[in-house]
Structure 1
Amino acid sequence: MEVPNKNSSNFLSIIGLLDNRVELDKKIKPGDNKYFAALAAMASKISYENKEFIKGVVEKIWKMDLLGAYDFWDERHQKNTTQGFMFHDKNANPDTIIVAFRGTEPFDAAAWSTDFDISWYKLHGIEGRVHSGFMKALGLKLDGSWPIDDGEDSEHLPAYNTITKELKRHFQINNRTRFVVTGHSLGGALAILFPAVLALHKEDGVLNRLEGVYTFGQPKVGDEKFGNFMEKQLEHYGVKYYRFVYSHDIVPRLPYDDSVLMFKHFGISLYINCFYEIKDEEESYKNYFDFESIFTMRMDTLWELVRSFILPRIFGLEYKEGLLLQMFRLVGLVFPGLPAHGPRDYINSTRLANYL
């Protein structure tokens, strides 16, 4: 028996096995309203894969330039845990760098510890309180400070420092280049907190290049005061923030928005139901355990299983779902909201729903 090589360009994570698509939607062209959202959704999905796989997809299939695939240093675990990659889309006008953060891998204990670290952290210079685990994943040190890039220990730079340094380097080469930040799940939380840390460090030159933030299945990252602070910052710098929420996805409804935890989303969500229809209202319920949603969640999950046999007949074979994903949808009848969190439905949403 040959043991799979996890660093091979052919190796797929469990996320990739659930949805092995790597082609971009040919019907969505650069300049279209959907372009960056659709590209960001695909980038968020392949961020779960290894560096060789990402390189092959970005350079050989998408015909774009991979700028780097990173394992970022995490002081808590004394090893590289947070992951992400950057690539340059020269087809966009102006040319655009996409920064994609990886979400929580199902069998990554370090990432799960980040998700469950729901203690509050109050940062000097940022209004409100933020999720401690997410900020530490970006690079916040245990003593509450941020690492200083002195050029001597570049291998141990965390996500925020590494990405900011790379963006500045590319901006010096081309003064028209813009950038987009994206991520799914935990990656979405890091994507929206990245401009918050830029604001904390008064990186106006970088923030003025930020075209937009696209998150998919993003958990809540802070309290109401932090949300108000971020809305002012995004408005000041003209940054578009699109937070996609698909159907009964459990993660956007965590941590709880109640009188104890007080986590709250900010901005307007693009809520898309199980028919891939965009809804103007916020999520149908803000917390996962909602008595009124028990029946609705299971009915919608059953429809998603039936829909898996219908979609390829209507929209083509790229929407065909494999047996593994269909089995996962069956699990949703017992634990609704779990299958809805996968990147597949978010990719379908950016392609099929009428939004933006």
Structure 2
Amino acid sequence: MDNGEEVHDERESMIIRRDQLSFKNIFRSFSFPRQRQPFSDHAFGYSFTAPKSGTTGGRYCRSIRSHFCTPLTLITMKILLQVATPLKWLGLVVEFLLNLISLNGGILGLIWRLMTVRVKFPRRGTAEFRSVLAFVDDRVELDGKRSLNNYFTPLMELKDHGGLGDINIFDLTMMAAKISYENAEYIENVVNNHWKMHFVRFYDCWNKFLESNGTQAFIFCDKKEDADLIVLAFRGTEPFNAYDWSTDVDLSVIHAGKLGYLHLGFLKALGLQHEEIFDLGFPKHLKIDKPAKKPAAYYVLRADLSDLLTAHRKAKIIVTGHSLGGALATIFPAILSFHRDTGCAGAVLSSLAGVMTYGQPRVGDETFKAYFESLMQGKLYVRMVYRFDLVSRIPFDDYDEDNRLSPFTHCGKCIFYNGWYHAKVLEEAPEPNSIDLVTAVPRMYLSVWTDLFNALFALRFNEGREFEEGPWLILFRLLGGHVFPGGAFHSPRDYVNATRLAKLDQRSSALLRSSKTMAEINLLKEIN
């Protein structure tokens, strides 16, 4: 505009072009503290408006200001993309060596087998092959023996009425989120033989924009016949996958109509077909080849859940995920609602009992938050955050009228674990961006030492062998916690410990017993 004012179109969307993201371009963008430029003036920025007619056009007018969070995000993305290939190979080597040592009875056993030429070599994709996360936490059994009455009293109703006998529904969903990082045969073995439930299918889905199978999930039922519960678990951010991490911090957004602004990277992971127009990105129907060579996650999962509901008419659906998987678990029902007038989407949505996420990043703006919270009325939505988990605090909440590049906010209340034994229900976790050098960082380091003490002494002697941590885990906490403290709190192991041990304070107990929460509990009674 001639008077220099910005024009903000409610349908504006923004894409960060990774191939144009360079340190030189980032430095130029933020070299002047009072610089105000349209985002599209920068080499890495592509911005547009999407008129209702379904064509793109207009000029995108959001401007970049010298805010700390935005350049930090762009620099982080660039570093991750630079190290993607070596990080991937590092992961392959580490996993192979860990499995090689484990398969041959430890380091001494491996030396003996080398001397006797009887070495067993691990085969990726088998039930015996484990990811790094499975070595960090090798537990596969559900927490059926532990009484929530002694630990998580306010959630006792969820276990008694919405669980499966003595199984804690929180533990079940977190364990499902944890094993989602493993291969299909490993998952099938755990579900069928350890949990005595019914494994349905593992999904390795296509990301059109990465041109790779970048999204994984699996579905299981509590019983093979006449199931009461169906669980969909999305895989989260893999430790050695730089593209997953760069997706978590990405600021790219697309305007999704009544859903508001949504994180573009997460939509791509779910099977987005067009990155500029949401209606084209997620059409109501998408042809799925049989067998699907390049399956789009949302469509194959929706179709299979619909088929399962035909076979199990009383079943309720729980969607879960850790990290990036939690983000996908949150967006999935929103797109179902967007397509609710189609038969399969409406059926799946009407049978949805709840969404339970762990260490979930932010996925949308205030409009999406209002939409999602309305959608989940009468259903269970629980978002867990363990201490200073950095992933639950990205993309950064950096939105204001001058810097409208990061409009992300969390949905609903969260259960915040400020330790293995304590939890609170809050609107938002403390230190929402975890970058305050005066308060957040010192508290992170203090919490690292607290967790290290618990790992060395309290858990081993007070809570039983299943919580005992060996020297490798202690080393992980000691080194990882001090090099990258915010990431150390993201471990699935800590979330499993928290769901099994944490107690709620009195104020949080009252919040969970509110009318809305009781409606959620009553709905979950239908599972049994």
Q: TM-score w.r.t. structure 1 length?
A: 0.93
2:122 aligned partner, one-letter code: P
Report whether the alignment pairs 1:120 with 2:253.
yes
Which is worse superposed, 32-41 or 293-302?
Answer: 32-41
Deviations 1:99-144 (A, max 9, x none): 00001111224423432432011113x3320110001100111344
1:158 Cα deviation after fit = 1.2
What is the alpha-carbon distance in structure 2 between the residues aligned to residue 159 and residue 226 of structure 1? 21
Residue number in structure 2 paired with 1:137 = 269
Report whether the alignment pairs 1:287 with 2:433.
yes
Deviations 1:157-184 (A, max 9, x none): 2111111101110111222111100000
Residue number in structure 2 paired with 1:146 = 282
User: Percent identity of the aligned residues?
Assistant: 41
What is the alpha-carbon distance in structure 1 between the residues aligned to residue 134 and residue 337 of structure 2? 34
1:14 Cα deviation after fit = 0.9
1:269 Cα deviation after fit = 0.2
1:56 Cα deviation after fit = 0.6
1:302 aligned partner, one-letter code: W
Distance 1:219 1:332, change over 3 A: same
Distance 1:89 1:119, change over 3 A: same
Residue number in structure 2 paired with 1:205 = 347
What is the alpha-carbon distance in structure 1 between the residues aligned to residue 224 and residue 387 of structure 2? 32
What is the alpha-carbon distance in structure 2 between the residues aligned to residue 79 and residue 230 of structure 1? 29
2:472 aligned partner, one-letter code: L
Which is worse superposed, 67-76 or 278-287?
Answer: 278-287
What is the alpha-carbon distance in structure 1 between the residues aligned to residue 246 and residue 334 of structure 2? 22
What is the root-mean-square deviation of aligned Cα atoms in Å? Answer: 2.1
Deviations 1:263-322 (A, max 9, x none): 111100000112421113331211120231222211111010110022021110000112
Distance 1:110 1:275, change over 3 A: closer
1:2 Cα deviation after fit = 5.2
What is the alpha-carbon distance in structure 2 between the residues aligned to residue 222 and residue 275 of structure 1? 29
Deviations 1:76-99 (A, max 9, x none): 122211001000013999710100
Residue number in structure 1 paired with 2:61 = none
Question: Does the 8 A contact of 1:114 with 1:137 survive in 2?
Answer: no
The equivalences for 1:1-356 within 5 A come to: 3-27=121-145, 31=160, 35-90=168-223, 95-124=228-257, 126-143=258-275, 144=277, 145-146=281-282, 148-152=285-289, 154-202=292-340, 203-235=345-377, 238-259=378-399, 260=403, 261-281=406-426, 282-290=428-436, 291-309=438-456, 310-330=458-478, 331-354=480-503
Distance 1:239 1:114, change over 3 A: same
2:390 aligned partner, one-letter code: I
Secondary structure of the corresponding residue to residue 21 of structure 1: coil
Q: TM-score w.r.t. structure 2 length?
A: 0.64
- Give unpaired runs (5+ residues) of structure 2: 1-118, 148-158, 505-511, 513-528
What is the alpha-carbon distance in structure 2 between the residues aligned to residue 66 and residue 75 of structure 1? 27
What is the alpha-carbon distance in structure 1 between the residues aligned to residue 146 and residue 172 of structure 2? 9
Distance 1:23 1:94, change over 3 A: same
Give the aligned length. Answer: 353
- Give unpaired runs (5+ residues) of structure 1: none
Distance 1:258 1:62, change over 3 A: same
What is the alpha-carbon distance in structure 2 between the residues aligned to residue 116 and residue 264 of structure 1? 13
What is the alpha-carbon distance in structure 1 between the residues aligned to residue 194 and residue 420 of structure 2? 29
Which is worse superposed, 216-225 or 90-99?
Answer: 90-99
Deviations 1:183-202 (A, max 9, x none): 00000000011001101111
1:15 aligned partner, one-letter code: L
1:204 Cα deviation after fit = 2.6
Distance 1:190 1:174, change over 3 A: same
Distance 1:117 1:98, change over 3 A: same
What is the alpha-carbon distance in structure 2 between the residues aligned to residue 292 and residue 262 of structure 1? 24
Secondary structure of the corresponding residue to residue 155 of structure 1: coil
What is the alpha-carbon distance in structure 2 between the residues aligned to residue 38 and residue 160 of structure 1? 25
What is the alpha-carbon distance in structure 2 between the residues aligned to residue 244 and residue 106 of structure 1? 20
2:203 aligned partner, one-letter code: Y
1:328 Cα deviation after fit = 1.7
Distance 1:92 1:262, change over 3 A: farther
Question: Does the 8 A contact of 2:316 with 2:351 survive in 1?
Answer: yes
Distance 1:140 1:268, change over 3 A: same
Question: Does the 8 A contact of 2:386 with 2:495 survive in 1?
Answer: yes
Distance 1:168 1:312, change over 3 A: same
What is the alpha-carbon distance in structure 1 between the residues aligned to residue 393 and residue 474 of structure 2? 24
Question: Does the 8 A contact of 1:31 with 1:92 survive in 2?
Answer: no
Distance 1:167 1:283, change over 3 A: same
What is the alpha-carbon distance in structure 2 between the residues aligned to residue 99 and residue 26 of structure 1? 20
What is the alpha-carbon distance in structure 2 between the residues aligned to residue 286 and residue 54 of structure 1? 34
1:54 Cα deviation after fit = 0.4
Which is worse superposed, 242-251 or 20-29?
Answer: 20-29
Which is worse superposed, 104-113 or 55-64?
Answer: 104-113
1:49 aligned partner, one-letter code: E
2:268 aligned partner, one-letter code: K
What is the alpha-carbon distance in structure 2 between the residues aligned to residue 197 and residue 293 of structure 1? 35
What is the alpha-carbon distance in structure 1 between the residues aligned to residue 288 and residue 266 of structure 2? 25
